[in-house]
Amino acid sequence: MENLKISCPCHFGLESVLSGEMKRLGFANVTSENGKVSFSGTLSDIAKANINLRTAERVLIELASFTALSFEELFQGVKAISWEDFICEDEAFPVKGWSLNSKLHSVPDCQSIIKKAVVRRLESKYGMSIFPETAAKHQIQFSILKDKVSIYLDTSGEGLHKRGYRRNSNAAPIKETLAAGILDIARVKGDSTVYDPMCGSGTFLIESFLRATKTAPGLRRYFAAENWKIFDKAIFKEARAEALDKIDRSVFLKGFGSDIDSEAVRLCIENSKKANAENRLSFKQMDVKDFSLTDIENGIVICNPPYGERLSDIRSAEALYRDMGRIFERKSGVNYYIISPHEDFEALFGRKADKRRKLYNGMIKCTLYQYFL
């Protein structure tokens, strides 16, 4: 199968990072829009994308895009898709999606129209009227935005932020995909030294290790499409072998994490073992107030301090930002990357950032404040 349109949703603000990743993997016709980057490729490219992309949320096959103002237009648009090229007689095809600012606003109704259209199409191709749907799941996704319908098949299954090393997390962990995007912006390399003095479950440091050692993030997990009959078993096997070949463990990356919470530190140690990163990363319990630059000559300090949700928590988060401003001094060779949703972060921290970048942490609008020297 050639020239499939493959679309990957990502965190708002990371589109250029994800398109850079795709170009480096050699994908063709990479195009970006808000929260989504697409390319054209083959089934092998789908396997490669799932295994290698660090900042994509999922890998979807975009099957059609059309305008629908009535259920009949929706039905005909979906029925015109050659579903038989993707779904075999016994495979499952549930439907889910959303609609925003559109005439077809009832999601359950759209869901059942789409299901009916796929069934009609497959009935006519396979000459059967009952589909057992007992074999591999092909999740059909739809979106309807301002009457424009897009229909996708999800090849990933579980979201790509699930790498397989973080079965455990503390409260408010940063998503692995967002952390990977921030590390790309911070240009973490094989010889970097990275510090996270509020490390939570250790995501920034474990992702730093994966990035530095060129370890593909999807090597420790499975993907929905692996069980689809149209995917020859060799496709994912070859993509995994290629990714394994690229791993370079001879790099010098070092990572130091600390957190005030001893349970968080215990989780970090556990998670870094699962990621085989324990030789390069070390963790300890420490209040950020005791973080010191005395022994640091070169380094990247990355953190997402608590945001504070209730008013009393916001006040203590603000006090923490003031403390951070005093502790994170200007020092040649040390750069800081701090993600926060607080509009007055710079005033509280006490310094204007050298660079800012808008990033969404889920639905929360944040800024990545960057301080260089």
Site for ligand SAM in 293-352 (CB under 6 A): 304-306, 320
Beta strands 95-100 and 135-137 are unpaired
Identify the CA nearest to 296 among candidates 194, 207, 369, 206: 194
Nearer to ligand SAM, 157 or 305 (CB): 305
What does residue 151 show for φ and ψ, rounded to 5 degrees?
A: -120, 130
147 counts as binding ligand SAM under rule CB under 6 A: no
Q: Which residue is nearest to ligand SAM (CB)?
A: 200
Distance of alpha carbon 183 from alpha carbon 335, whole angstroms: 12
Q: Which is nearer to ligand SAM, 74 or 281 (CB)?
A: 281
Q: Between residue 19 and residue 78, which ones bind ligand SAM under the rule CB under 6 A?
A: none
Q: Report the distance separating Cα 161 and Cα 217, nearest Å.
A: 9
DSSP string, 41-92: E-HHHHHHHHHH-SSBS--EEEEEEEE-SSHHHHHHHHHTS-GGGT--TTEE
Q: Are 148 and 67 in contact (CB under 8 A)?
A: yes
- How far is 349 from 359, CA to CA, in rounded Å? 19
Q: CB 104 → ligand SAM: shortest distance, Å?
A: 39
CB closer to ligand SAM, 205 vs 224: 205
* Smallest separation (angstroms) from ligand SAM to the CB of 155: 26
Count Cβ atoms below 10 Å from residue 372 Cβ, excluding itself. 11
Residue choice 91, 154, 259, 346 for contact with ligand SAM (CB under 6 A): 259
| Smallest gap from residue 59 Cβ to ligand SAM (A) | 23
Find the radius of gyration of the CA atoms of the chain: 23
Region near ligand SAM per CB under 6 A, out of 56-64, 127-135, 223-231, 257-265:
257-265
Q: How many residues in the shown chain lie near ligand SAM by CB under 6 A? A: 21
Gap between the Cα atoms of 148 and 100, Å rounded: 10
**Nearest residue (CB) to ligand SAM, 200 versus 217:** 200
Nearer to ligand SAM, 86 or 328 (CB): 328
**Of residues 170, 227, 282, 335, which one binds ligand SAM by CB under 6 A?**
170
Residue 367: CB atoms within 10 A of its CB come to 19
Comparing CB distances to ligand SAM, the nearer of 170 and 227 is 170
Contact 300, 335 (CB under 8 A): yes
173 contributes a contact to ligand SAM by CB under 6 A = yes
Asked if 203 is part of the footprint of ligand SAM (rule: CB under 6 A), the reply reads yes
- Tell me the closest approach of the beta carbon of residue 238 to ligand SAM, in angstroms: 32
Cβ atoms of 109 and 103 closer than 8 Å: no
Which of the stretches 96-104, 140-148, 170-178, 221-229 binds ligand SAM when contact is defined by CB under 6 A?
Answer: 170-178
Q: How many CB atoms lie within 10 A of CB 92?
A: 14
- The H-or-E segment that residue 302 falls in is strand 299-303
Q: To the nearest whole angstrom, how small is the minimum distance from the Cβ of residue 202 to ligand SAM?
A: 7
Query: Binding pattern to ligand SAM, positions 269-288, x when CB under 6 A?
Result: ------------------xx
Q: CB of 35 within 8 A of CB of 13?
A: no
Of the pair 143, 170, the CB lying nearest ligand SAM is at: 170
| Least distance (Å) between residue 196 CB and ligand SAM | 7
Calpha distance 204→157 (Å, rounded): 24
Q: Name the segment binding ligand SAM (CB under 6 A); options: 33-41, 42-50, 129-137, 256-264.
A: 256-264
Q: Which residues bind ligand SAM (CB under 6 A)?
A: 169-170, 172-174, 198-201, 203-204, 259-261, 264, 287-288, 304-306, 320
